[in-house]
């Protein structure tokens, strides 16, 4: 969680210096969701994410250097600099995006799960998406098909209370998103997304049920982004008092307090962890700054699956 937080804080600084271009959507405040979830998955499982996915890539095993180089648009990035912030990708780690289209990853996840089902592989495909994606047709289509064919999909809704600048109650007739999957006969559970251990336990239970052939599962993970929707967002749609209230439930601070209370983590070790993370992030930044961009003559490569002479 510390690595994700410090990586993104550094990205915000680099964005203001125009070293990172395009859009930048920060995950700060939501780190417990992906850290708890991915720790409960197997290495052979697939992970599909939306466009707020830097933490997902890092937790899945993409190196900070490869992720930062991608942010810079450099050839050493995990997608060769062609994806940028919203399209991190690493097939070797079975991390399949990073999708800029809201709900765009959901049908992809169903397809990955179908492939595993047809091949007889005992894998889970975990797909992360925000509350705004539940308004899209792909959401219901994906739930329906996964349920109909009993596919091994774990739907993880990162409900951070806002679809861009629109509060959940203003875009959902029923803001209890946990009620929605029942229409497709998909079992669901609501989880405290600010508690990394609660997320890990819930995902472990759900993934085990999916892996054992029980069909898809749905988790509504209640969380909150501390920063604006993106770096372009003026954030005039929510009260500062609301943000402050959620910040008091910072998942990192809550977990540190728990570890201290249990005598697991002391100030010296916490300082050491902070130092290690800071060093890793700065090394990634240096590597990204020094990395080459792809030559212009290479830009038409990899556009198609097979190159035409």
Residue 171 is part of a domain; what is its CATH number? 3.40.50.970
Residue 306: inside a domain, yes or no? no
CA-to-CA distance for 203 and 197, rounded, in angstroms? 10
* 162-163 and 166-167 beta bridge pairing: antiparallel
CA-to-CA distance for 51 and 37, rounded, in angstroms? 17
pLDDT tens, residue order, the chain (309 aa)? 999 999 999 999 999 999 999 999 999 999 999 999 999 999 999 999 999 999 999 999 999 999 999 999 999 999 999 999 999 999 999 999 999 999 999 999 999 999 999 999 999 999 999 999 999 999 999 999 999 999 999 999 999 999 999 999 999 999 999 999 999 999 999 999 999 999 999 999 999 999 999 999 999 999 999 999 999 898 999 999 999 999 999 999 999 999 999 999 999 999 999 999 999 999 999 999 999 998 888 888 878 777 555
CA count, 13 A, side-chain hemisphere, 207: 25
Residue 309: inside a domain, yes or no? no
Sequence-distant (≥ 6) Cβ neighbours of residue 43 within 8 angstroms:
94
Residue 302: inside a domain, yes or no? no
Domain extent, residue 157, equals 2-289
Residue 91: inside a domain, yes or no? yes
Domains contained in the chain, number: 1
Residue 300: inside a domain, yes or no? no
Residue 299: inside a domain, yes or no? no
Statement: the pTM of the whole predicted model exceeds 0.85: yes
Residue 305: inside a domain, yes or no? no
Residue 301: inside a domain, yes or no? no
């Amino acid at each position: 969680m510390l690595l994700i937080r410090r990586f993104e804080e550094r990205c915000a600084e680099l964005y203001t210096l125009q070293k990172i271009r395009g859009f930048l959507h920060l995950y700060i405040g939501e780190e417990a969701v992906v850290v708890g979830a991915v720790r409960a998955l197997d290495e052979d499982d697939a992970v599909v994410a939306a466009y707020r996915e830097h933490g997902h890539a890092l937790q899945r095993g993409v190196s900070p250097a490869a992720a930062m180089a991608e942010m810079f648009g450099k050839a050493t990035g995990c997608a060769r600099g062609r994806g940028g912030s919203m399209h991190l990708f690493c097939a070797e780690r079975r991390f399949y995006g990073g999708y800029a289209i809201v709900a765009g990853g959901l049908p992809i996840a169903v397809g990955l799960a179908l492939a595993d089902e047809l091949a007889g592989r005992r894998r889970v495909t975990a797909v992360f998406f925000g509350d705004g994606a539940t308004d899209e047709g792909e959401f219901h289509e994906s739930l329906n098909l996964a349920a109909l064919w009993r596919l091994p999909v774990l739907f993880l809704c990162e409900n951070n209370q806002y679809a861009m600048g629109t509060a959940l109650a203003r875009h959902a007739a029923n803001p209890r998103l946990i009620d929605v999957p029942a229409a497709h006969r998909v079992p669901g559970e609501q989880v405290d997304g600010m508690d990394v251990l609660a997320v890990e336990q819930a995902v472990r239970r759900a993934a085990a049920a999916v892996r054992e052939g029980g069909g898809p599962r749905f988790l509504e993970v209640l969380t909150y982004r501390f920063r604006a929707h993106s770096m372009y967002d003026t954030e005039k749609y929510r009260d500062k008092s609301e943000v402050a209230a959620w910040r008091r439930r910072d998942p990192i601070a809550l977990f540190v307090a728990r570890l201290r209370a249990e005598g697991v983590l002391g100030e010296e070790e916490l300082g050491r962890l902070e130092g290690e993370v800071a060093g890793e992030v700065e090394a990634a930044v240096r590597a990204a700054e020094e990395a080459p961009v792809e030559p212009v003559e290479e830009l038409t490569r990899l556009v198609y699956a097979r190159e035409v002479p």
